[in-house]
Amino acid sequence: MAENSTSSTTAPDTAWLGRGRHLGPEPEQDVRRNLIALKAAGVLDDFLDLDPADAARSTVLHPRDEAADPGPSARRLFEARWRVADDVTVRAQLTTYDPEGRRKDGEGVTWVLAAEAERVWDAHWPSPATMFWPDSDRVAWDHDTVQGLSLRTTNHLPKDDGELRRRLRDSIRQSWFVHVVVHEAMTPDAIGERPVSTFLPPSLRHRVVEHRGTPEQAQIADFAMKRELSVRMPRGGAVILPVEPVSPDYDAERFTVRSVFLDGSEPTELLEKIAEFAALPRPLPDEAERALTRLRQGWHLLTPDEELAHAQTMVTKYAEALDAMTKSRDLYREAAEAARAALADASGGDGLTGPAPAKAEGSPLSALTKAFGRFRRDPDRGSGKGSGKASDEGPGGSPEGEPGK
């Protein structure tokens, strides 16, 4: 997969953005089932299931530009609206995409999710991911776009040095998620194998990918991270990886934890570092910026009050446009009359007794004017008088040389 290209726009603190892959056979059906269930339970206010072509279509009441088009590879677009903290509305769009080239086995379907709230996002709010995807291990929606990585689990570092470096590079260049590397000082038991992300608040839990290094990988992983990312992996500790382009606010020491106990207890210091890192200003990848623009400018799921307000806004907009056109026409007419008057004064008034109509050859009005002009010039036309046929007839109305009958 190509590297992320980023813009100069910083991700707003009101938004939640994610991109991943669904490896199952029916991703859109999984989304539909979850949306229907959550609406029936009163978790969602409403949702829409749209064909991408319909989502991008522009109408008189809802004009849309190209920013509303999810692109030719889009499979389906879903919108959902819910409320948090009693009265804060969240709007979200999830779009599924076919792979850029021919779909390979295990590649899955890519999804892009953009959500925005009416105020600064709170990590303790429900995760937008589980508003669309089922919060179940049986549905494989939680894979990163970087091959071999997933949310909601631990991802062990590759044994091969070259593959290890490649994964580290891809993690900071391609992924939209926060990447944390935890080193196991000793082999943990089943409780210690639980990902530390399970201790994070809901909205942050589905933004973190956790890598695990085994005890024997301490030196090789530390060397690879130092060479590729200029960060160190402390033995028995953890470090949060930077993203490219590296933010000036990122400092490797600041986001390194020297000791993490994998005994099932809450790693408080690491959780605080993850939350701090996630709150840093972060440049938007181009695709994320397009998704956020599409959410804002191509939104369809309006409430009745929003529909009414939108219709009133459009009526006012069109009325203002019509008024501007009328004023422009009047100004043009006044300017034309002033120009003709000035021309008449300059020529002494000869031949300019009144405003001359604009020449419009080939127009229906011009054709009618010419036709009526011919009738005025030839008043006997149509009555038989003066016609070419009468000159060949005799006094009796018969042609000359033939006797009357």
Q: How far apart are CA 50 and CA 65, in angstroms?
A: 17
Average pLDDT over residues 160-178: 96
Cβ-proximal residues to 235 (8 Å cutoff; 6+ apart), any chain: 183, 185, 218, 222
Judged by DSSP in three states, 278 sits in helix
Same domain, 16 and 104: yes
**Where would I find the beta strands (DSSP E) of 53-194?**
74-84, 88-97, 109-117, 154-156, 178-183
Within a domain: 243: yes
pLDDT of residue 246: 84
The amino acid occupying position 213 is G
Q: How far apart are CA 203 and CA 226, in angstroms?
A: 30
**What is the per-residue pLDDT across 325-349, written as a single tens digit (0 to 9) for each?**
888 888 888 889 888 888 888 887 5
Q: Please confirm whether the linkage preceding 188 is cis (ω < 30° from 0).
A: no
**What is the per-residue pLDDT across 212-256, written as a single tens digit (0 to 9) for each?**
999 999 999 999 999 999 999 999 999 999 998 888 889 999 999
Residue 372 has pLDDT above 80, yes or no: no
Residue 98 has pLDDT above 60, yes or no: yes
Half-sphere exposure at residue 162, Cβ-oriented, CA atoms within 13 angstroms: 0
pLDDT of residue 276: 96
Contact 34, 133 (CB under 8 A): yes
Q: How far apart are CA 17 and CA 22, in angstroms?
A: 16
Same domain, 208 and 334: no
Within a domain: 386: no
Residue whose C-alpha is closest to residue 210's, from 196, 224, 221, 227: 196
Q: How far apart are CA 281 and CA 8, in angstroms?
A: 11
Within a domain: 404: no
Judged by DSSP in three states, 98 sits in coil
Residue whose C-alpha is closest to residue 240's, from 202, 249, 145: 249
Residue whose C-alpha is closest to residue 20's, from 122, 163, 147: 147
Within a domain: 329: yes
Same domain, 218 and 320: no
Same domain, 329 and 253: no
Q: How far apart are CA 257 and CA 237, in angstroms?
A: 5
Output DSSP code: residue 349: T
Cβ count within 10 A of residue 197: 21
Q: Which of the two residues, 159 and 362, has the higher pLDDT score?
A: 159
Contact 160, 220 (CB under 8 A): no
DSSP H or E run through 205:
helix 202-205
- By DSSP bridging, strand 283-285 and strand 6-10 are antiparallel
What are the residue ranges of helices labelled H in 347-403? 364-377
Number of domains in the chain: 2
Same domain, 296 and 325: no
Confidence of residue 386 (pLDDT cuts 50, 70, 90): very low
Same domain, 133 and 187: yes
Same domain, 338 and 250: no
Q: Domain residues for 109?
A: 6-301
Same domain, 319 and 295: no
**What is the per-residue pLDDT across 2-16, written as a single tens digit (0 to 9) for each?**
556 666 789 999 999
Contact 250, 283 (CB under 8 A): no
Within a domain: 306: no
Within a domain: 131: yes
Average pLDDT over residues 165-179: 96
Q: To the nearest whole number, what is the mean pLDDT of the chain?
A: 85
Same domain, 130 and 259: yes
Same domain, 130 and 30: yes
Looking up tokens 């603190």 gives 13
**Where would I find the beta strands (DSSP E) of 164-318?**
178-183, 208-213, 238-240, 256-257, 283-285
- By DSSP bridging, strand 178-183 and strand 238-240 are antiparallel
Output DSSP code: residue 186: S
Name the burial class of residue 120, with classes exposed (0-12), middle (13-18) and buried (19+) by CB atoms within 10 angstroms of its CB: exposed
DSSP H or E run through 310:
helix 304-346
Looking up tokens 């929003």 gives 306
